[in-house]
Amino acid sequence: MFEIDAKGMACPLPVIKTKKALKENKEVTTIVDNEIATQNLKKLAEQLQLNYQVEKISDSHYITVISHDEITNNIDSTYSGENTVAVLPEKLGYTVVLDTNIMGRGSDELGANLMKAFVYSLLEQDELPETIICYNSGVKLTVEGSDCLEDLLQMKEQGVAFYSCGACLNYYELTEKLAVGEVTNMYRIVEMMQSAVKIVKP
């Protein structure tokens, strides 16, 4: 049994670390400190068609176990419901579009943290996007000093193509600071989006 102490880890780190551990271990125990984390781990187990159990020790201490054993209905009653299996459809050649450097509406600080988590989660996917297109303030993610730059560079090393809108870089006076990918124009962006098999946009 492999154990992960994920208390205090922000989403999606508990899921990512557990998924990685399951590639090399038959059973993984993950300790988390909130109910949402247990629900995310349950979804992971369903997607991978693995057995899942959870034990609530306190409001800030949960022990989850995901194993390659035969799927059972032995799930804590707190999380009652049909024990369905959600199989993700195969993704081929998808494109990610980033039109802002924050994710969602409301707090810009929270939005920046969410975008950083989104980019990190992209890097940890089994299948990376073929292309990432950035325009408007999304180009700020691809320049020097970006909190996401290290993760984007790792994706580039694995073959992901990056394109940033030249007019947008000029508008924000960031053209000389572009650190990953190529400069492109809106006509080419339309072509790439039109020909994409699937577009993912946070």
CA 166/CA 175 separation, integer angstroms: 7
Can you list the alpha helix ranges (DSSP code H) found in the chain? 13-22, 35-48, 108-123, 149-157, 166-171, 186-195
CA 124/CA 134 separation, integer angstroms: 20
* Side chain identity at residue 47, one-letter code: Q
pLDDT for residue 40: 83
pLDDT for residue 37: 87
Asked if the domains 2-79 and 94-200 are classified in one and the same CATH topology, the answer is no
- Reply yes or no on domain 2-79 having CATH 3.30.110.40: yes
CA 188/CA 168 separation, integer angstroms: 14
Hey, which residues does 150 pair with through a beta bridge?
Answer: none
Query: What stretches in the chain show pLDDT beneath 70?
Result: 70-92
pLDDT for residue 70: 55
pLDDT for residue 85: 42
In a 10 Å sphere around its CB, with 0-12 CB exposed, 13-18 middle and 19+ buried, how is residue 65 labelled?
A: buried
**Full-model pTM:** 0.69
pLDDT for residue 92: 55
pLDDT for residue 75: 40
Note whether 177 and 144 are within 8 A (CB): yes
* Tokens 């009653």 belong to residue: 77
Average model confidence (pLDDT) for the chain? 87
pLDDT for residue 146: 96
Q: Give the tokens for residue 149.
A: 């730059």
pLDDT tens digits along 75-113: 443 433 344 344 444 445 799 999 999 999 999 999 999
C-alpha to C-alpha distances, 199 to 22, 115, 141, 182, nearest whole angstrom: 29, 17, 18, 19
Q: Domain ranges in the chain?
A: 2-79, 94-200
Note whether 148 and 202 are within 8 A (CB): no
pLDDT for residue 74: 42
Return the CATH number of the domain spanning residue range 94-200: 3.40.1260.10
CA 40/CA 46 separation, integer angstroms: 10
